[in-house]
Structure 1
Amino acid sequence: MKNLQARIEGKASEPEVRQKKERIEEVTLLRAFAFLAVTLQHCIAEYIYRPDIMPADSIMLVMLFHFTRFGTPAFVFLSGLILFYNYSGKLNYRSFIRKRFGDIFVPFLCWTIIYWIAVEGVIGSKLMQPSAWPSIFLQLVNPTNGYHLWFIIMIFQFYLLFPLFSKAIASIRERLHRHPEERAFHRVAWASVALGLMYGALLWLSYYKMPGWAASAGGFWEGLITYRSYYFVMYVFYFLIGSVCAFGLARFRTFSADAMGWAMLVFIGAYIWLGYDVLRFSAEQMNLLVSSYLKPSTFLIIVSELLLLYGFALMLQRRKGALSRILRFIGRHSFGGFLAHALVLMLVSMVTRPMQLSGFHLPAALITFILVVGGAIGLASLLEKLPFGRWLVGPTGRRRPKATYADRNVSESTPREQTG
């Protein structure tokens, strides 16, 4: 009866994702910001633990590091935004997972092998030793050679569970539609605040209690708690806020623009607080673990910075200047750049590690950042042109110029916006 009624009313039985939708232009800019943040934090980590670093350089690098905390959560937020925006109707799960496997997991497999060869073969000279070969399978579960690839393992969990998220959000939306628009908006706002408080409580447990639980549990449970950053639940707030943005895009844009003032105040307060924490709990070397994603004060920095950057992206989008064009190019190739940036950083570090840089670690980190961004994005753009480039850098959305807005937005839900 429902299908018959849909035909009578002229409604297509295809999923909503096939409907023509507005392209979310600011996503590409936000993806570029997130990629730059992730790259910068890895470049800082390359220098901040060196034994010859001066205290002034250490402190400055920590201050710079705290501006990058939004990187990984921003990719999770963008994943939720694009997925809920495109797949708000029926979902062919088999086709959905097949596409994600090809767009995300195949490049992950390829780069896992590349980093394994680079570390075990080139650096460790163990490639020809049969005893080293089984380690590649361990890298698929706990990537240490490509230390950034843990994010692919985590984000793929959201894809596997997306039908459950979609069904739950659809049920909530159905209830909200029974209320006037303004009342529904206020309900969503308060629900988001409540979700944020619950997530903050989870982060408090994660940072202050779970390390003790892991030490006392031992065995399997110790490993399970220790690697909690690999689990989707530790980032679920950002994913669900992405759904809020997806289903109220116009309001979210207005809100992010209007909220830039108080978001800046929150960011400054949380930034000072987190910086003080790092200085308090560091000894001879700065301890970046104090600035973990999974900490309530870092959560405040991330949320306020995401709002600031969303508003800033909208401003750049309207002006369409040179900076916007550069960021769009970076954003289009951010997934490939994310996968490749650790390899480029590895090559740069082979040159810089033997050098005596005492007193110059801050400028060295910034120069390395520029080289790594340029090298990673350049490599990704070159690999894209290869016949098999899709399997290395994923789709970049530029090979089908005649696609509809809906098709182009589907391509936006590929891992280019999810890297971190």
Structure 2
Amino acid sequence: MTNLQAGIERKAPEPEFRHKKERIEEVTLLRAFAFLAVTLQHCIAEYIYRPDILQSDSIMLAMLFHFTRFGTPTFVFLSGLILFYNYSGKLHYRSFIRKRFGDIFVPFLCWTIIYWIAVEGVIGGKLMQPSAWLNIFLQLIKPTNGYHLWFILMIFQFYLLFPLFSRAVAAFRDRLHPDTEGKLIRRVAWASLTLSLMYGALMWLSYYKMPGWAASAGGFWAGLITFRSNYFIMYTFYFLIGSVCAFGLSRFRTFVADAMGWTMIVFIGAYIWLGYDVLRFSAERMNLQVSNYLKPSTFVIIVSQLLLLYGFALLLQRRKGAIYRILRFIGRYSFGGFLAHAFVLMLVSGVTRPMHLTGSHLPAALITFILVAAGAIGLSSLLEKLPFGRWLVGPTGRRRAGAAYAGRSVAERAVREQTG
């Protein structure tokens, strides 16, 4: 080896390899469950308030509606899990927000415009009126055309404030100095229980006290309290429980697998109680607001169902059957499917609303659910293949995997060039 070659080898920079953490496979399955729950929820809402519905169909749809309560909180839980799992160390805030803006907020902007055109132009026929153009700016603050898009604005609040959450959780972890692993588990369990009791108290205030506060407050404060479901503070528990899962993934998996029997019992009890509440406080039509997210009994059913579904996802992951493969495909395109499902439902309801469905609202809702879920996921998978598909459906696992492979190829070529 010549001196020149030795000098080149000493000066050549070593390629940087990122040691990626274990991929949490069950996250994809839970995304699929959450997407299907939200889609079913909106399909039920399309039929349950129709004037020609029979009471038997109305009751059955309300009972089915209770199975969808975990959908939105599960998305919050998964966001917390992924963020704390991937960004447990130092965080470059500017690049972090830039990435989230491109992955989440840009698709929100695109779909806001799509729903605005569909509602104001195609359905309303007033796209060229000044009021319609003013409405597009209002839709970016309080979405009504794309009624489900409020969730994107809410979840983005967690991204904006994530450094504060990260520091608070890091400070809590630093104060844990257990002598044994058993003590650590007990302290985390007590902290989680305390957090759940505090959140349950917040839910009690939200459901039983805050409506009265809004009525007496008036003005700005009335609006702030009335639209409290749009603010991150009302979903903080699920986000922080995601951090518990992220920092103790193997223990959390063991816990949910071992506790499936207990969570099943709690879920059945909470489900019966919630159904009784809805029937008790409903008149001719089912009052689904009785089982809204911000209610203590609904909180119990959501947590038990979330833990139960997590354990079920682990079982599916172990067996890797046909259901597992289908759910993986749905989960991969769940974000785009979530954005698009209300649009597909709008198309389907345009056909079903003129129809006379007395005595058939339950099967009609289920058929609509299958069509909307399949249509939204299919549309998301097709849009992802377009050059600008990322702007509409966000990133998918396939593209991220391709980028990672390309990065490894570049690094490998650099090594070969330096050594060969």
TM-score using structure 2 length:
0.91
Equivalent positions of 1:297-376 (< 5 A) are 297-376=297-376
Aligned equivalent of 1:217: 217
Q: What amino acid sits opposite 2:49 in the alignment?
A: Y
Matches within 5 A, 1:96-135: 96-135=96-135
- Residue 39 (structure 1) aligns with: 39
* Aligned-partner residue type, residue 226 of structure 2: T
1:399 Cα shift?
Answer: 1.7
2:298 & 2:308 partners in 1: Cα distance? 15
Letter in 1 for 2:37: A
Give the deviation of 1:403 after TM superposition. Answer: 5.4
Query: Cα distance 1:400–1:274, how it changes in 2: closer, same or farther (>3 A)?
Result: closer
Distance 2:321 2:100 in 1: 33
Match status 1:287 vs 2:287: yes
Cα distance in 1, alignment partners of residues 177 and 73 from structure 2: 29
Q: Distance between the aligned counterparts of 2:134 and 2:400, measured in 1?
A: 40
Aligned residue runs from structure 1 range 125-164, under 5 A: 125-164=125-164
Post-superposition shift, 1:289? 0.5
Cα drift, residue 121 of structure 1: 0.4
Q: 1:20–1:404: 8 Å Cα contact kept in structure 2?
A: no
Distance in 2 between the 1:31 and 1:382 partners?
A: 19
- Hey, what's the Cα distance between the residues in 1 that align with 2:189 and 2:362? 41
SS state at 1:150 partner: helix
SS in 2 for 1:215: helix
Deviation at 1:42, TM superposition (A): 0.2
Alpha-carbon contact 1:263-1:305 (below 8 Å) kept:
yes
CA distance in 1, matches of 2:20, 2:376: 33
Partner of 2:23: 23
SS at match of 2:112: helix
The answer on 1:167 being equivalent to 2:172 is: no
**Equivalent residue number for residue 56 of structure 1:** 56
Whole-Å Cα distance in 1 between the matches of residues 88 and 101 of structure 2?
Answer: 20
Which has the higher Rg, Structure 1 or Structure 2?
A: 2
User: What is the deviation of 1:177?
Assistant: 4.2
TM-aligned CA distance change 1:155 to 1:205, over 3 Å = same
Note the C-alpha offset of 1:179. Answer: 3.9
Q: Give me the whole-angstrom Cα distance separating, in 1, the residues matched to 2:204 and 2:389.
A: 42
Deviation, 1:402, is 5.1
Match for residue 233 of structure 1? 233
Distance, in Å, in 2 between the alignment partners of 1:67 and 1:331 is: 18
Secondary structure at the residue paired with 1:29? Answer: helix
Q: Distance in 2 between matches of 1:179 and 1:31?
A: 37
Tell me what 2:418 maps to: none
Provide the rounded CA distance (Å) in 2 between the counterparts of 1:107 and 1:362: 33
Deviation at 1:18, TM superposition (A): 4.9
Q: Deviations over 1:148-189 (max 9, x none)?
A: 000000000000000011011111112224542211110000
Structure 2 equivalent of residue 208 of structure 1: 208
Q: For 2:77 and 2:388, how far apart are their aligned partners in 1?
A: 29
Q: In structure 1, what is the Cα distance between the partners aligned to 2:185 and 2:18?
A: 26
What is the aligned partner in structure 2 of residue 412 from structure 1? none
SS in 2 for 1:116: helix
Q: Secondary structure at 1:133's aligned position in 2?
A: helix
The whole-number CA distance in structure 2 between the counterparts of 1:40 and 1:121 is: 27
Letter in 1 for 2:271: Y
- In the TM superposition, residue 254 of structure 1 has moved relative to its aligned partner by 0.4
Secondary structure of 2:310's aligned partner = helix
CA-CA distance at 1:131 after TM superposition: 2.4
The C-alpha deviation readout for 1:226-267, integer Å capped at 9, x for no partner, is 000010000000000000000000000000001111111111
Are 1:117 and 1:127, in contact at CA under 8 Å, matched by a contact in 2? yes
- Give the superposed CA RMSD: 1.5
1:73-108 CA-to-partner distances (Å, cap 9, x unmatched) read 000000000000000000000000000000000000
Q: Distance in 2 between matches of 1:401 and 1:350?
A: 39
Counterpart CA distance in 2 for 1:179 and 1:63 is 48
- The structure-2 alpha-carbon separation of the partners of 1:402 and 1:179, relative to structure 1 and needing over 3 Å to count, comes to farther
Aligned equivalents of 1:99 and 1:302: distance in 2?
Answer: 30
Identity %: 84
Unaligned runs of 5+ in 2: 1-15, 409-420
Counterpart of 2:183 in structure 1 is: 183
Q: Give the match's secondary structure for 2:398.
A: coil
Q: Partners in 2 of 1:225 and 1:167 — Cα distance?
A: 28
Equivalent residues of 1:337, 1:376 under 8 A apart = yes
Taking the aligned partners of 1:188 and 1:56, their CA distance within structure 2 comes to 45
Looking at structure 2, the residues matched to 82 and 111 of structure 1 have their Cα atoms a distance apart, in angstroms, of: 24
**Mapping of 1:76-91 within 5 angstroms?**
76-91=76-91
Contact conserved, 1:34 with 1:72, CA < 8 A, in 2?
yes
Kindly provide the amino acid, as one letter, of the partner of residue 176 in structure 2: L
CA distance in structure 1 between the aligned counterparts of 2:265 and 2:400, rounded to whole angstroms:
43
State the partner residue of 2:388.
388
